[in-house]
């Protein structure tokens, strides 16, 4: 499995994060908590792209989910060494594959499990995983083992197609939403079609939906250029679809 250049490209979004950083299960996390009353036994695990907790886009998106009534916990999947935001800059020579070699998906899964155990000790019993790019891999793996109960992924990376889709259909009980787009080397149109073939049409009883955002590219749901109307519509649409998925199933 590998990442591509699109996995470390994008646009910084503006805003001031409103959550807090803390530790759960010995892992650094960003926590976005609703200001309104919310279920204390449910948590949304925000599993990030390669930029992790250092990219404000991720934190701002977590805050947006919290405004919709969900407590969000975003673990540091990269042991304090996410991809640098400078990778966005023209001419950046950031070597994503060397970085990925230091941060394999297996380590990220162990990190999320530590956070899940910490949250269980606080009384949390039901977990959703929302995975962006890199974060889709641990989302799938934790759904395979029944450790998360609802999954929504956007422009997923590191999936083996069709194997992971077939395995999801066979062993997972977590309803699955996929937010896809036009140009995505990591989850191309053929992968979208295969997902529909394996999971769609009522074949996956727990629930399956795929949205498609015309004119968008890999990363649109978190790092897209919001000056492009199609990308803005895709980012906002993927967010709305994810919120509705969480309301329905979490």
Residue 4 falls within a domain, yes or no?
Answer: no
Cα gap 38→61, rounded to integer Å: 18
What is the CATH classification number for the domain harbouring 53?
Answer: 3.40.50.1820
pLDDT on residue 88: 81
pLDDT on residue 120: 98
Residue 13 falls within a domain, yes or no?
Answer: no
CA torsion through residues 32, 149, 78, 124, sign: positive
Domain count, the chain: 1
Answer yes or no: pTM beyond 0.85: yes
Cα gap 89→171, rounded to integer Å: 41
pLDDT on residue 87: 86
pLDDT on residue 12: 47
pLDDT on residue 1: 55
Residue 137 falls within a domain, yes or no?
Answer: yes
pLDDT on residue 7: 53
The phi, psi pair for 218, rounded to 5°, reads: -50, 130
Consecutive 10-residue averages of pLDDT for the chain (250 residues): 48 78 98 94 98 95 95 98 88 90 96 98 98 98 98 97 98 98 97 98 98 96 94 96 97
Range of the domain at 169: 20-249
Cα gap 94→116, rounded to integer Å: 32
Residue 7 falls within a domain, yes or no?
Answer: no
Residue 9 falls within a domain, yes or no?
Answer: no
Residue 154 falls within a domain, yes or no?
Answer: yes
Question: Under a CB-based contact definition with an 8 Å cutoff, are residues 15 and 85 in contact?
Answer: no
pLDDT on residue 9: 44
Residue 1 falls within a domain, yes or no?
Answer: no
What single string gives the DSSP state of each residue in 160-213? -TTHHHHHHHHH--S-EEEEEEEE-SSS-HHHHHHHHHHHTTTTSTT-EEEEEE
Element (H, E) at 8: none
Residue 127 falls within a domain, yes or no?
Answer: yes
């Amino acid at each position: 499995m590998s990442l591509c250049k699109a996995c470390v490209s994008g646009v910084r979004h503006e805003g001031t994060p409103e959550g807090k950083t803390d530790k759960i299960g010995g892992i650094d996390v960003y926590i976005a908590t609703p200001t309104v009353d919310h279920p204390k036994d449910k948590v949304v695990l925000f599993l990030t792209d390669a930029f992790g907790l250092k990219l404000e886009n991720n934190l701002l998106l977590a805050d947006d989910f919290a405004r919709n009534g969900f407590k969000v916990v975003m673990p540091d999947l990269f042991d304090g060494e996410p991809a640098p935001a400078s990778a966005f800059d023209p001419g950046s020579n950031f070597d994503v594959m060397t970085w990925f070699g230091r941060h394999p998906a297996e380590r990220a899964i162990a990190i999320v499990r530590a956070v899940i155990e910490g949250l269980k000790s606080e009384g949390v019993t039901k977990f959703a995983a929302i995975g962006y790019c890199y974060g889709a891999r641990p989302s799938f793996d934790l759904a395979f083992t029944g450790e998360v109960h609802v999954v929504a992924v956007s422009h997923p990376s590191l999936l083996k197609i069709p194997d992971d889709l077939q395995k999801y259909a066979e062993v997972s009980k977590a309803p699955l939403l996929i937010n896809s787009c036009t140009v995505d080397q990591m989850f191309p149109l053929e992968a979208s079609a295969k997902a529909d073939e394996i999971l769609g049409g009522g074949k996956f009883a727990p629930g399956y939906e795929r949205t498609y955002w015309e004119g968008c590219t890999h990363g649109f749901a978190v790092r897209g250029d919001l000056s492009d109307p199609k990308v803005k519509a895709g980012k906002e649409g993927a967010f709305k679809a994810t919120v509705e998925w969480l309301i329905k199933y979490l």
